[in-house]
Amino acid sequence: MPDDVIIETRNLTKVYRDFWGRQKVRALKALDLEVQRGEIFGLLGPNGSGKTTTIKLLLGLLFPTSGQALIFNRDATDVKKNERIGYLPEESYLYKFLTAEETLDFYGRLFKMPKRLRRQRTAELIDQVGLSRAKKRQLREYSKGMTRRIGLAQALINDPELIILDEPTTGLDPLGTRDMKEMIVDLRNQGKTVIMCSHQLDDVEDVCDRIAILYEGELKELGRVDSLLKVRDVTEIHASTLSDKAQQEIRDIIKREGSEVLSIGNPTTTLERLFLDIVSESAEHPGRRVTGGANN
């Protein structure tokens, strides 16, 4: 595993079974994936597509039925890897009877951080996520947005190299969403690797460098966001404001190769469009890999 590869999954498969060992559902099918150092990687998929299962497998919360997940070149079940990881779960699963300060102090102690460092880090993070005024309140009194913020703070307590975010913008207001996205980009700019899964397609589009789209446990698409969103069989022309007459003329000129063309390029569709197309195509042709939006 090269040094630049932070996460690697090989043929990663997860089958859920019932009490008697009978197969209930095949949640993930032979996933091969690599996440590079310093990128923001998005996992997309409809409900039940296997993205949360993937994250749980990466964190060692679930054990693979077959295949392997490696993080920092260590098996996903190895506790030692967690020293370099920060994890924000889908809903901030934190102890509601603790205050924000106690929460961060507790998680800091789990990283064996010295008391002085814990205090310093706690103060920094509480300030960073904007909870200074509520740091003495128990988490049970927090709004959902505040809970997400303290959740993010606990994920960053150890200054991790890899941050795994499960639906990071869920429950946040537009302002909070913007702040969260800025924070994610900022983390990437600090050289950290971020892997996130989200239903908010515009969020993913805004911050992710690469994405993987899963459907019914299978990898359907993988690549850079800008590349995936490019429509190659359509030419797009950007021109300055033109009168109706001019526009008509442009059309004529384009026909006869006249007038000034300000820009000619490939228009993009939206991520949402791409996502829906893939889901629809997958539903019509189960088992077939969709070749991506570039040729559509």
Partner 1 sequence: MVIETPQYPFFEWLPLSLMSFLLVCGSLLAVALVFGYLVAALRHGPIRAFTITARAIADGMVDLVSISPRRVMALTWLSIKDSIRRRVVVVFGVFILIILFAGWFLDPGSTHPLRLYISFVLPATSYLVLALVLFLSVFSIPADLKSKTLHTVVTKPVHASEIVLGRMLGYIAVGTIILAVMGTISYVFVLRGLNHKHIVTQADLESVGTTQEAPDGDSEAPQSTGMQKGISGRDHGHRHEVRIKADGRGILERTHDHWHPIVRKTENGETTYEVGNPEGMLVARVPVYGKLRFVDRQRKAAEKGINVGDEWAYRSYIEGGSLAAAIWSFEGITPEAFPKQLPVEMTLGVFRSYKGDIEKGIPGSLLVRNPKTGLTVEAKIFRATEFETDIQNIPKEFTITPSNVYYLDAIKVSEAEKHANEEKDAKDEKNAQTAQADGEQEAGEQIASYKRREAGDDIKNKGKLDLFEDLVDGDRVEIWLQCLAPAQYYGAAQADLYLHAKDASFFLNFVKGYFGAWMQMVLVASFGVMFSTFLSGPIAMLATVGVLIGGFFRTSVIEVARGENYGGGPAESIIRIFTHQNVTSEANPGLQTDVAQMCDAVIQHCLGIAARLLPEFGQFSCADYLAYGFNISSTWISEHGLTVLAFFFVLFVLGSFILKTREVAR
Residues found near partner 1 in the complex (CB under 8 A): 21, 56, 59-63, 79-80, 82-83, 85, 87, 89, 91-95, 97-98, 102, 106-107, 109-112, 154, 158
If the CB atoms of residues 140 and 238 are measured against partner 1, the closer one turns out to be 140
**Shortest separation between residue 63's beta carbon and partner 1, angstroms:** 6
At 259 the three-state DSSP class reads coil
With contact defined as beta carbons under 8 Å apart, do 266 and 230 qualify? yes
Helix (H), strand (E), coil (C) string for 281-295? HHHHCCCCCCCCHHH
In 3D space, the residue among 139, 158, 8, 168 whose CA is nearest the CA of residue 72 turns out to be 8
Nearer to partner 1, 95 or 261 (CB): 95
User: What residue type is 34 in one-letter code?
Assistant: E
* Min CB(144)–partner 1 separation in Å: 15
Instruction: State which residue, 99 or 128, has the beta carbon closest to partner 1.
Output: 99
Minimum CB–partner distance for residue 189 and partner 1 (Å): 24
CB 88, min distance to partner 1, A: 9
In DSSP terms, 15 is beta-bridged to: 26
H-helix or E-strand spanning residue 223: strand 218-224
How far apart are CB 62 and partner 1 at their closest, in Å?
A: 5
Positive or negative, the CA dihedral 246, 247, 248, 251 is positive
Please, which residue, 49 or 154, has the CB nearer to partner 1? Answer: 154
Nearer to partner 1 (CB atom), residue 23 or residue 227: 23
